[in-house]
Amino acid sequence: MKKLNNVKDSKPVLHIGKMLFALAMALQLLFITGCKHDDLSVALPNENIRPAADFVKNNYEMRLFYAALKKTGYTEQLNGAGPFTVFAPTDEAFNRLGIYSTADFDKMNVDSLKKIIGYHILPRKLMVNDMPSNGVDIRYATLSGSELYLSRAAFNPSGGEVNELYIDGVEVIRKDVVVANGVLHLIDNVMKPNFNKTVQQWLAEHADYSVFVKGLKKFNLWDQLATGETFTIFAPNNQALENVGITEASLNTLETGKYIGDRLFGAYILYGRHFFISDSQVFSLINSNGVYNYFLKKDSYYMNFGGGKLYPEFKLGYSLTLRSGNTVSDVILNSVTSNLTAKNDNLCSNGIVHHLISGLVRPEQAIKK
Amino acid sequence: MKNERLNQRMIKTGFLQWAWLFAVCFLLLNSGCVKVEYSKIDDPAYLRVFNNLNYIQTLGSKDNKVPFFCMLINPVLDANGIPTSAEIVGDFLDQRDAYAPPYPSHIGTSTSVNNPEYPGKENVLVGPILNGFDLSSWAQVPSGKMRIMFAYRPKNTVPFFQLENQLKKDILIDTVLNLTSKEVYTLHVLQKDFVTKRTGLLLRQEIFQKLPLSDSLTYVNFYNMSAKGYWEADKSLKAQDYLMASFQGGMKDEMNVFLSLYEDQSILSARAATIPGFKGKYIANVKLNTAISDVNPYVSFPVWASNTGNGITTNMWQRFDFFVPGMDVSNNPFYEASTDNGGNWVSVNCLQNGKVKMTSNDNAAILPNLLVNIHSGVNNPKTFATVNTIEVVNGRVYLTTIQRKYAPPIY
């Protein structure tokens, strides 16, 4: 019995040895054959994808943008080698600026139009995933040479994913449209870069802010706007100032010595900050706080600034609330919600100008005591 | 008999086949060998670097320069003064974490390149075990005079020397340090004046590895490395970080520190039972100092102060109250959850992993427990005494824990 058992026991050893040997041989065979890739075939890239300019041409949502590209001679370049990133404003975006037909471009200076259109194109391929998550004011060089500001709200650190993208304060409404020589993003407004223009020059050039400009000059707030400091200006137009009882005629009779200029006109200037309206929306998404509160310069009055997507259109707007101080018991002087998205975010060399639909301070609220 | 012989032969052939297999494997493995050049630093000093300049991303601070650095030791500059290489590079040096653990555990638990300290995640030669203390959080650097630079860099993942040239010009600090061989140093990048925004370095030569410290006592020392004028400054100029609770506004230039030891860190309340004899016990005085690099004296408390500890593990936790001289726990005029005390009273709870919220009304910032509870030998957990440093910088409080080398776990 013992012997028999021994014989039985030895069989597995034999089996294992044989099997291992066979396995080792098979493994070596695999190694050798594994190196041959003669008939490996790679899928051919789809050749039917259009280059950027052709894509824009064939898309009826971007007819005006195509007209602008054609007028400024960018079509050929955009059909070339690339890579490009095109931030294409929709026709609706152009409409908001008063451009309704291709003929409207003929009234414009071609060189300035070319600079602005070139500002919408990056000489690189920039997909959403290439942009830093929760990056604010990331700058990218454009074809015009100067840089645009990109902010991407990707997630809230306390939980939750969001996915909003803004360039120069303009919302990107469709992202990552791949074209043959790059990528295209659809934007909701035309960007408004002013390149080397200061906020002062910008205001001086726009006649509908003439009363505001006159007020700034009268209270010695004007000259600072040409300096290298940074400003965010909430500019009320003439109609807006009339709402609070300030007109060109009334300004002529106003005695400067009686009024606090830093409140009456300084209330519209935010010093040392560079805010797009979208920044407020971005920060409310990424750290749940999109509000910025500050004391007016040389004054005890306190301002709350906050922006976001306003009901019912869910387009970007902002509100300003002026209080007599920063405690709960301080009275609210005025609160204005400004929702003309297309007129905001005028990027100048030393700051940003936003349009304000109503004035904040009546002259009698700024009398010196 | 016949069968047995057959059996043996079969076993022998089995061995032969095994031998062949081993030979083949040996050949395969051997042909894959490379020669490894090990790096070595002669006469090293041991250096750990913290970036105490902090920032938070808010609407109001979005235009501020982010203190995110590349540290360069003995840099080589080109004709335009742009660094082209350096002997030692500590890239992606981010603001420091609230907790600097005894072991560089950031390496295993992070997917980001941002480094909360140097060496931190850097793969460099680190310090040895000195007097029982594991210096694996200290990098070896050449001793003697060395030039050190902190260069601002954009917050992205591109290594410093691959950045465009225009981004490599912004140098915050460029100075010379003199390190002695075999000494242990911590280097702090600090803001020294809150009004003028002047920054600078503080190089501290540590002494813990030279002291006769007991392993049944936990040691801690305190520093206030805040910028001059921080606590006096208006609230609107300070970063609001609710996790820092009472520390947000900073503390006064001279403070007394009081220790309370609590019985059980599973009870998240500062009203819970304290260990007899350890409620609001005065332990130290701390003065604002960003200029002199002296080591503040270590104070200690026993690891086994609590009756519930069994000699292997204890559940106790610590609370430190910082009061302005003249004030203490018994005459504290503030409400227990009052966080805005004009710098007169700030407090910090040290329990669990520092990532918990107290259930009681409380004004304390929260840091990890000073005692390390970890699986060692057959005990899981086992409590270890440590040597700690608590540093207050502007509106923040930081804990650095140093631990002795301990036995690995047995599973």
Q: How would residue B26 be classed by pLDDT, with cut points 50, 70 and 90?
A: confident
Q: Smallest CA–CA separation between A151 and chain B, in Å?
A: 11
- pLDDT (0 to 100) of residue B62: 86
- pLDDT (0 to 100) of residue A36: 61
CATH of the domain at A269: 2.30.180.10
Pair (A130, A75) in one structural domain: yes
- One DSSP character per residue, A288-326 reads S--EEEEEPTTSS-EEEEEEEEETTTTEEEEEEEEESSS
For CA atoms A117, A122, A125, A131, the dihedral sign is negative
Q: Is the pLDDT at A37 greater than 70, yes or no?
A: no
- pLDDT (0 to 100) of residue A33: 65
Chain B residue numbers with beta carbons less than 8 Å from the beta carbon of A279 are: 59, 62
- pLDDT (0 to 100) of residue B31: 67
Neighbours of B18 (CB within 10 A): 14
Nearest to B58 among A17, A20, A283 (CB): A283
Q: Is the pLDDT at A82 greater than 60, yes or no?
A: yes
Of A191, A207, A242, the one marking the end of a domain is A191
Nearest to A287 among B7, B24, B57 (CB): B57
* Cα-trace Rg, chain A: 31
Interface membership of B13 toward A (CB under 8 Å): yes
Interface membership of B29 toward A (CB under 8 Å): no
Interface membership of B178 toward A (CB under 8 Å): no
Q: Is the pLDDT at A23 greater than 60, yes or no?
A: yes
Alpha-carbon distance B327 to B257, whole Å?
A: 10
Residue A27 included in any domain = no
Model-level ipTM above the cut of 0.85: no
pLDDT in tens, B319-351: 999 999 999 999 999 999 999 999 999 999 999
- List helix spans (H) across B32-141: 106-109
Alpha-carbon distance A261 to B304, whole Å?
A: 68
**Interface residue of A8, A11, A14 to substitute, partner B, most B CBs within 10 Å:** A14
Q: Which residues, in sequence order, are CB contacts of A347 under 8 Å at separation 6+?
A: A149, A168, A169, A191, A192, A193, A194
Residue A23 included in any domain = no
- pLDDT (0 to 100) of residue B143: 94
Residue A60 included in any domain = yes
Alpha-carbon distance B116 to B396, whole Å?
A: 15
Pair (A281, A169) in one structural domain: no
Pair (A205, A161) in one structural domain: no
Residue A44 included in any domain = no
- pLDDT (0 to 100) of residue A1: 44
For CA atoms B382, B385, B389, B394, the dihedral sign is positive
Interface membership of B61 toward A (CB under 8 Å): no
Interface membership of A18 toward B (CB under 8 Å): yes
- pLDDT (0 to 100) of residue A7: 47
Nearest to A24 among B24, B62, B156 (CB): B24
Residue A143 included in any domain = yes
Nearest residue in chain B measured CA to CA from A280: B59
Nearest to A13 among B10, B24, B155 (CB): B10
pLDDT in tens, A121-171: 999 999 999 998 888 999 999 999 899 999 999 988 777 788 999 999 999
Q: Smallest CA–CA separation between A3 and chain B, in Å?
A: 7
pLDDT in tens, B191-233: 999 999 999 999 999 999 999 999 999 999 999 999 999 999 9
Four-point Cα dihedral B350, B353, B359, B362, nearest 10: 30
Average pLDDT, integer, range B174-184: 95
Q: Is the pLDDT at B249 greater than 60, yes or no?
A: yes
Of A191, A210, A226, the one marking the end of a domain is A191
Interface membership of A287 toward B (CB under 8 Å): yes
Alpha-carbon distance B303 to A359, whole Å?
A: 66
Chain B residue numbers with beta carbons less than 8 Å from the beta carbon of A325 are: none
Four-point Cα dihedral A308, A312, A314, A315, nearest 10: -80
Pair (A206, A185) in one structural domain: no
Pair (A313, A223) in one structural domain: yes
Contact B379, B362 (CB under 8 A): no
Chain A residue numbers with beta carbons less than 8 Å from the beta carbon of B65 are: none
Chain B residue numbers with beta carbons less than 8 Å from the beta carbon of A293 are: 236
Nearest to A10 among B11, B21, B57 (CB): B11
Interface membership of A13 toward B (CB under 8 Å): yes
Decide: residue B12, CB within 10 A, 0-12 exposed, 13-18 middle, 19+ buried: exposed
Interface membership of B17 toward A (CB under 8 Å): yes
Domain boundaries, chain B: 38-210, 217-411
- pLDDT (0 to 100) of residue A27: 82
Supply the range of the domain harboring residue A151: 52-191
Range of lowest pLDDT (A234-248, A324-338, B7-21, B282-296): B7-21
Pair (A248, A117) in one structural domain: no
Name the DSSP class of A359.
-
Range of lowest pLDDT (A168-182, B22-36, B44-58, B125-139): B22-36
Contact B325, B256 (CB under 8 A): yes
Q: Is the pLDDT at A13 greater than 80, yes or no?
A: no
Interface contact B17-A134, CB threshold 8 A: no
Q: Which residues, in sequence order, are CB contacts of A49 under 8 Å at separation 6+?
A: A178, A179, A180
Q: How would residue B38 be classed by pLDDT, with cut points 50, 70 and 90?
A: confident
- pLDDT (0 to 100) of residue A19: 84
pLDDT in tens, A232-245: 999 999 999 999 99
Q: What percent of chain B has pLDDT over 90?
A: 77
Neighbours of A141 (CB within 10 A): 12
Chain A residue numbers with beta carbons less than 8 Å from the beta carbon of B59 are: 275, 279-280, 283, 289-292
Chain A residue numbers with beta carbons less than 8 Å from the beta carbon of B11 are: 10, 13
Contact B405, B134 (CB under 8 A): yes
Q: Is the pLDDT at B261 greater than 70, yes or no?
A: yes
Nearest to A283 among B13, B14, B59 (CB): B59
Nearest 5°: the CA angle A78, A79, A85 is 40
Number of domains chain A contains: 2
Residue for token pair 């050039």: A205
Residue A177 included in any domain = yes
Chain A residue numbers with beta carbons less than 8 Å from the beta carbon of B3 are: 3, 6-7
Alpha-carbon distance B3 to B396, whole Å?
A: 82
pLDDT in tens, B95-104: 999 999 998 8
* Cα-trace Rg, chain B: 26
Contacts A–B by Cβ distance under 8 A: 71
Q: How would residue A4 be classed by pLDDT, with cut points 50, 70 and 90?
A: very low
Q: Smallest CA–CA separation between B91 and chain A, in Å?
A: 18
Residue A215 included in any domain = yes
Nearest to A292 among B6, B21, B60 (CB): B60
Alpha-carbon distance B398 to B221, whole Å?
A: 12
Q: Is the pLDDT at B178 greater than 50, yes or no?
A: yes
Interface membership of B33 toward A (CB under 8 Å): no
pLDDT in tens, B278-303: 999 999 999 999 999 999 999 999 99
| Amino acid letter, residue B157 | T
Chain A residue numbers with beta carbons less than 8 Å from the beta carbon of B56 are: 287
Nearest residue in chain A measured CA to CA from B10: A14
Q: How would residue A42 be classed by pLDDT, with cut points 50, 70 and 90?
A: confident
Q: How would residue A10 be classed by pLDDT, with cut points 50, 70 and 90?
A: low
Residue for token pair 């107290």: B358
Interface contact B59-A279, CB threshold 8 A: yes
Q: Smallest CA–CA separation between A242 and chain B, in Å?
A: 31
Q: Is the pLDDT at A5 greater than 60, yes or no?
A: no
Nearest to A13 among B14, B57, B155 (CB): B14
- pLDDT (0 to 100) of residue A3: 47
pLDDT in tens, B371-382: 999 999 999 999
Alpha-carbon distance A9 to A6, whole Å?
A: 5
Alpha-carbon distance B21 to A174, whole Å?
A: 60
Please choose, from the candidates B138, B133, B135, the residue with its C-alpha nearest in 3D space to the C-alpha of residue B117.
B138
**Interface residue of B17, B28, B59, B166 to substitute, partner A, most A CBs within 10 Å:** B59
pLDDT in tens, A254-274: 999 999 999 999 999 999 999
Residue A37 included in any domain = no
Pair (A135, A273) in one structural domain: no
Average pLDDT, integer, range B171-175: 94
Interface contact B62-A295, CB threshold 8 A: no
The pair of three-digit structure tokens given for residue A232, joined into one six-digit string:
């965010």
Average pLDDT, integer, range A11-36: 75
Chain A residue numbers with beta carbons less than 8 Å from the beta carbon of B64 are: none
Chain B residue numbers with beta carbons less than 8 Å from the beta carbon of A16 are: 14
Please choose, from the candidates A67, A43, A10, A116, the residue with its C-alpha nearest in 3D space to the C-alpha of residue B3.
A10
Alpha-carbon distance A221 to A215, whole Å?
A: 8
Q: In what order do the strands lie in the sheet with B83-93?
A: B83-93, B69-77, B144-152, B171-179
Of A174, A191, A208, the one marking the end of a domain is A191
Neighbours of B160 (CB within 10 A): 20
Chain B residue numbers with beta carbons less than 8 Å from the beta carbon of A28 are: 24
| Amino acid letter, residue A33 | T
Decide: pTM greater than 0.80.
no
Interface contact B21-A275, CB threshold 8 A: no
- pLDDT (0 to 100) of residue B39: 81
Nearest residue in chain B measured CA to CA from A272: B63
Average pLDDT, integer, range A307-319: 91
Q: How would residue B109 be classed by pLDDT, with cut points 50, 70 and 90?
A: confident
Q: Is the pLDDT at A2 greater than 60, yes or no?
A: no
Q: Is the pLDDT at B1 greater than 60, yes or no?
A: no
Nearest residue in chain B measured CA to CA from A274: B63
Pair (A251, A156) in one structural domain: no
Nearest to A10 among B7, B24, B59 (CB): B7
